[in-house]
Structure 1
């Protein structure tokens, strides 16, 4: 048995020999486990091959689940709207504002740049086609899939470094490898794959560091302490919830330092301060400098004016140069001659002297009015030119005044000298939608006046800002009938309209396909035609950083509006609700963010059991009854408590937050809970009782391998079954009948296609 010392008795001398691997403190007695006992705290070398094979297997599973059908859907999904757009802004170097730090977004932009993405596609709407717009979306998604895959072997190695059996390593990593929520979040263009692998790397590096606690100030000791700091910096540089990982590691560091301060360790104050200094530099100072470095890169890239300008101060905006768009964007004034372009189909609003036929092919009678179509003429056709006029004829004093994005206005067709209008007459191809036509000046100024009134509905909702060519994306809403001007290229008009696109009034005014913009102001001359670059000023980096930090925190705290798929933290551990990411109505397909529920419930069961064991142990110890061995208690209160505390730090703070909360906020806590659950299950199958309380002679601290392996195999089979069951709504590539959708709608889930 290892020697025991009381107080300072020889403790310093024994520590200086470095022939120790663990110290267990009980009743003021330090039990120093010597090098001779080191082998029982290390993995048996003969088992290494099984660990390697198991790690390869579970990593392959993670790779398959994340890369399977990664090309589907070939459309923008959920928050790809945001993070793909930010990559576009980085590539175009136009300034934008976001609530999250730049590290993960820079990674996405870098991959996009490597694969030739030019940044012109802005990921405006869920459902926008990647194929049509020639976007390298698969490499962008593959970045997340690779990071999500690598998270799994990191978990495996973390459990191995904690001296758990190969079965625990498989179980803990399989919970994440086969989790539908982790798979869904780490195969799309999102930030969470970077966040989660950074959390896993932080825990792995810190575990590696703690195993070197008795080789203090060695090269390896510094290396793993430094890598812990780098990993923590990656977490906090991806999302500010990374501070919860800092709390996890920080609490463990504080406990470690408290033990080092104990006089029984024999450390001098000078050596203790050296420990403190090393941790301060490598866990706080270096990560903070790395964190600042990403913002430096962020500001260095975003040098041009962009959509984030209005969030910043005037002094900040003066540091930004004009964007390429700024050179072409001009304020639109009343009585300007303009061309109008549809955002999705890139065709120009057009009219000509030809009229709708008396009867359509289906027998319906038309108004026989002047045709209004959409035509890809390049904006050079005379039929594409329109004069924008104020809503009231007597507002002639608006000559030269800018058009605002929320204004009511009229459009006069220049070539045929008539007003654009829509009315309660069915359109040629869509009987449910309204026909667009052009009427004479006399009709437009007389009895048809109200029908000629339109109002802009800006996508950015800034109704009081001037309308700009190229830059302002708006909907044209008809004032009397409240329909939106729309065109489509799925079906073209017949030969009587020269196979051009139909323009009609869409009653679904929120449809993103209703978006248009002013392409050109015809005949622009003089001062308005000239581009005068604005002067660019300098502002200190820290001044810009402080301003941005304040705004990020302010807007983060104000993000409290309701959302149909928002959920509360009390729902998360049991995975009671999820989030709809994408739907395809005509195919009855859906991507719904939800976890592999059996895995989540297993974690909760293990945490409840852990709390019960800890309470029971504390009660018995209080009565001086020591049922558990010293080693099992060390595992319970050091290793397992570290993971349990990490789960608490990553979960409970969300109860204090007033901002919007979603199920994906729980994924870091779920990751830690997976390692905890696997470790604690092994604890339950280990002979933890002291010899005094054993019913039969068994070697203490040994695992009942056969029984444990059987349970792990059963749990693995359950995880596979659960993953396959919810896979249709994870990948969205399988149509679901009503009964199939209903069978997967558990608890508070709200799936589509259940009716």
Structure 2
């Protein structure tokens, strides 16, 4: 028996959530199925491509004029007083500094992917920025920085988000009034306006989120009409590129990928259950989506890091986050081949394995407390103060620290008792039962450099080598110390503690270098060391030498992803203006961006936009739940064309909101109100969808009047709070009355002092 064409529900915009294939191509059916499909009017030949708008966009010329006017308004709103303030605002401290690093090609590490930062840097570079401003402090005046151009890029991307919202809603078959309503809500949303006017990443993120939603909607409309056409492939490829762009701005873009992924899985699932679609055709659909929505975004994402590595070719302040192998790919960090064999009398530099903090280091400055002996630290840069000489502690030591080099070479093996003499100060690496200056706990001992010329040291200078592991390709490295190949621990001979370092830094008197202690309860990874450079006069020039194995692009890429993940997860310190996700939809508090000269920029949303969109989200969830209960009682609401249409539309936007909001509850890191902005975009579109449904049976004039009232209220709210969006002077009375919620903790007593 040949498969028959089953009855279908009324057609609606698919978006990955609607019934699939209300029409099928004739060549996908056998003869019997073609006859039955033809009798039911299902053949695509009855529709044809003629007159079908690409992506389902059927917009009249008058609408383009309306859209143009809205864009002009958006430009005026976001560009107004863009040069003010003429000083650093909020996280411009970070992202402006990263632009400086790009221009100077100095390596840095950030928790966000590079695309948005590269775009901001490009704007600064085009307008002549030389990278010499340090962006050190909030409210620091700009000097010789094209900061207006750098702010203009996110501002223009904020403007571009507005027409994308309009086109998306029209592609979702919402009315033009609804699209105008949502566009103006986004235009006058105080939070989005404030965020888009500065050198920050969230405006590009929201733009690419909006772009992804638009092109994905266009693809779904094409897929509903006819798959595998040139237009279908164009929309699908654009969807993949947009996904790559959004995740290349911030990892929040992964939530956008999840949104499209849910829609894709739904499409494939419905296709799988459609008996008119043969397995080969289903596999073709699967492979096309896998190629464009998985492979293409990954390649785009990796290409951004390729550009990132290409630009950041020099050593910089981000070196310490990376492995030694990675660091040696940077200009200025490469080193000559060094001897592999480590012997008594070798001059070596020791590096810490785990924290990548740098070299075991000492300098002629003493601890201000404790023993008051010479400091020992971890220092991230090459320096002559990193050089130590290995001495056998069980043999006679020359008071001058010299070694009898005419003695046979004695390689350093596990269990050997050694002293380490600091070359430049002639003091020994030393520990004793004195608490360290920072980690003042019972199981931590101070490590210092102790001694003087003509002094042979004492038993507190003795350390026992414990080889932890060697390299598999070098069997000798597991038996004796080999440069770069052997990881080992140094156990203090008298107290049993281990030479140890962690990410704790010394105060200013220690030049903020990393603390070194002797730890009786040492975490193994933090007590591992290796030798980076090694020289011995008795080793012949042709003796075996080693060097770092430099990673290629893939190795560097994977290592940086791990560093970004670890660094991001480590941002757990509290901030004065951080907030938790439960407070965001209610707009409980904002963020202080800038205060100077009795003026303030404070990030807070437009209450009308924020609370109406939150109400729309809750309303959809409640109504959807009610309809599900009705379906259980036998009601057939989901066979109603109107219900299916709006459930599909609002369901897609609700899933987008949920996937961009709920994951933040799982994060323990520092969070701020601006993390809600991508979810807010979906919430505003969902609010528009609910408006379209509620006003569906009203006359166009009444619908327009309702939209106009809501827009006027939103514009009034925007205007009322605009002084803290633009940093304008404010009257004291208006400033006081603007604090509708006690949790809106802007410094009104500071901002209100200028005008009474």
Scaled to the shorter chain, the TM-score interval is 0.5 to 0.7
**One of 617, 621, 634 as aligned partner of 1:624:** 634
Secondary structure at the aligned position of 2:508 is classed as strand
What is the aligned partner in structure 2 of residue 230 from structure 1? 241
Structure 1 unaligned blocks of 5 or more: 20-29, 324-330, 336-396, 407-454, 466-534, 688-702
Q: Deviations over 1:115-161 (max 9, x none)?
A: 1111111211111111xx21110000000111110011001100011
Per the alignment, do residues 37 and 317 of structure 1 end up closer, same or farther by CA in structure 2, a change over 3 Å counting? closer
Partner Cα separation in structure 2 for residue 539 and residue 734 of structure 1: 55
Query: Does the 8 Å CA contact 1:93/1:303 hold for their aligned counterparts?
Result: yes
Contact 1:179 1:596 in 2 (8 A): yes
Partner of 1:167: 177
| Cα gap change, 1:134 to 1:460, in 2 (>3 Å) | farther
Give the CA deviation at 1:628: 7.0
**2:745 aligned to which of 734, 750, 753:** 750
- What's 2:232 paired with? 221
**1:704 paired to 2:714:** no
**Offset of 1:556 from its aligned partner?**
1.0
Root-mean-square deviation (Å): 3.6
> Distance between the aligned counterparts of 2:273 and 2:706, measured in 1?
42
Q: Distance in 2 between the 1:458 and 1:596 partners?
A: 48
Give the structure 2 partner of residue 457 of structure 1.
508
Question: Which residue number in structure 2 is paired with residue 252 of structure 1?
Answer: 263
Please tell me whether residue 299 in structure 1 is matched to residue 309 in structure 2.
yes
8 Å contact from structure 2 (residues 182, 688) kept in 1: yes
- Give 1:47 deviation, angstroms: 6.5
**Which whole-Å CA distance do the structure 2 matches of 1:45 and 1:674 have between them?**
20
Which of 270, 280, 283 lines up with 2:280 in the alignment? 270
Residues 1:582 and 2:591 aligned together: no
Does the CA-based 8 Å contact 1:62-1:152 persist in structure 2?
yes
**Structure 2 SS opposite 1:237:** helix
- The aligned residue for residue 160 of structure 2 is 150
- d(CA) in 2 for partners of 1:399, 1:710: 83
1:729 corresponds to 2:724: yes
Q: Deviations over 1:367-413 (max 9, x none)?
A: xxxxxxxxxxxxxxxxxxxxxxxxxxxxxx99799xxx99xxxxxxx
1:94 to partner: Cα distance: 0.6
For residues 588-603 of structure 1, the aligned pairs below 5 Å read: 588-603=598-613
Alignment CA distance shift 1:547-1:45 (3 Å): closer
Q: C-alpha separation between the residues in 2 aligned to 1:668 and 1:18?
A: 42
1:307 Cα offset (Å) = 0.2
Per the alignment, do residues 38 and 174 of structure 1 end up closer, same or farther by CA in structure 2, a change over 3 Å counting? Answer: farther
How far residue 53 of structure 1 moved from its aligned partner, in angstroms, is 2.0
Q: What are the superposed Cα offsets for residues 701-745 of structure 1, whole Å, 9 maximum, x if unpaired?
A: xx5322221110001001100100110001112245266245335
- Could you tell me which residue of structure 2 aligns to residue 243 of structure 1? 254
Distance (whole Å) between structure 2 residues aligned to residue 549 and residue 732 of structure 1: 37
Does 2:316 align with 1:316? Answer: no
Equivalent residue of 1:164, what SS?
Answer: coil
SS in 2 for 1:202: helix
> Following superposition of structure 1 onto structure 2, how do residues 3-82 of structure 1 map, counting pairs within 5 Å?
6=6, 15-17=24-26, 48-82=60-94
Shift of 1:458: 8.1
Aligned to 1:661: 671
For residue 165 of structure 2, give the secondary structure of its aligned residue in structure 1: helix
Equivalences for residues 462-501 of structure 1 within 5 A? 462=513
Secondary structure of the corresponding residue to residue 119 of structure 1: coil
- Indicate whether 1:569 and 2:581 are aligned: yes
- Is 1:713 matched with 2:708? yes
Given the alignment, which residue of 93, 99, 112 partners 1:100?
112
How much does 1:547 deviate? 1.0
Distance 2:283 2:59 in 1: 40
Aligned-pair distance for 1:275? 0.3
Question: Equivalent residue for 1:559?
Answer: 571
Q: SS at 2:600's partner residue?
A: strand
Alignment of 1:190-229 (within 5 A): 190-213=200-223, 214-229=225-240
- 1:635 Cα shift? 1.5
Q: 1-side partners of 2:695 and 2:261: how far apart?
A: 31
Gaps of 5+ in 2: 9-19, 29-39, 334-360, 366-422, 428-436, 439-505, 517-546, 751-756
Secondary structure of 1:61's aligned partner: helix
Please give the alpha-carbon distance, in whole angstroms, between the structure 2 residues aligned to 1:568 and 1:12: 43
Aligned-partner SS, 1:240: coil
Matched residue SS, 2:24: helix
Q: Deviations over 1:86-122 (max 9, x none)?
A: 0100110011111111111111111111111111112
1:613 pairs with 2:623: yes
Q: Deviations over 1:199-240 (max 9, x none)?
A: 001000000000111311111101100000100101111111
Paired residues of 1:738 and 1:754 also in contact (CA < 8 A)? no
Q: CA deviation at 1:56?
A: 1.2
Deviations 1:555-578 (A, max 9, x none): 111111111111011110121100
> Matched residues in 2 for 1:568 and 1:600: separation?
16
Distance 2:137 2:268 in 1: 51
Q: Does 1:279 align with 2:307?
A: no
Superposed CA deviations along residues 422-443 of structure 1, whole A, max 9, x for unmatched, are: xxxxxxxxxxxxxxxxxxxxxx
| Structure 1: distance between partners of 2:733 and 2:22 | 73
| Distance in 1, Cα, partners of 2:57 & 2:227 | 25
| Alignment-derived partner of residue 434 in structure 2 | none
Q: Distance in 1 between matches of 2:43 and 2:640?
A: 11
SS of aligned partner of 1:581: strand
Return the alpha-carbon distance in structure 2 between the equivalents of residues 143 and 319 of structure 1: 32
Aligned partner of 1:646 among 632, 656, 670: 656
Query: Separation in 1 of the partners of 2:319 and 2:42?
Result: 62
Gap change, CA 1:618 and 1:37, over 3 Å in 2: farther
Question: SS at 1:224's partner residue?
Answer: helix
Q: Normalising to structure 2: TM-score of the pair?
A: 0.66
Partners of 2:24 and 2:43 within 8 A in 1: no
Aligned residue-pair number: 537
Give the match's secondary structure for 2:594.
Answer: strand
Distance in 2 (CA, whole Å) between partners of 1:589 and 1:233 is 39
Q: Scaled by the length of structure 1, what TM-score is found?
A: 0.66
* Alpha-carbon distance between aligned partners in 2 of 1:109 and 1:78, rounded to the nearest angstrom: 18
- Asked if 1:684 is matched to 2:679, the reply is no
Whether the aligned pair in 2 keeps the contact of 1:583 and 1:590 (CA below 8 Å) is yes
Which residue pairs with 2:350 in the alignment? none
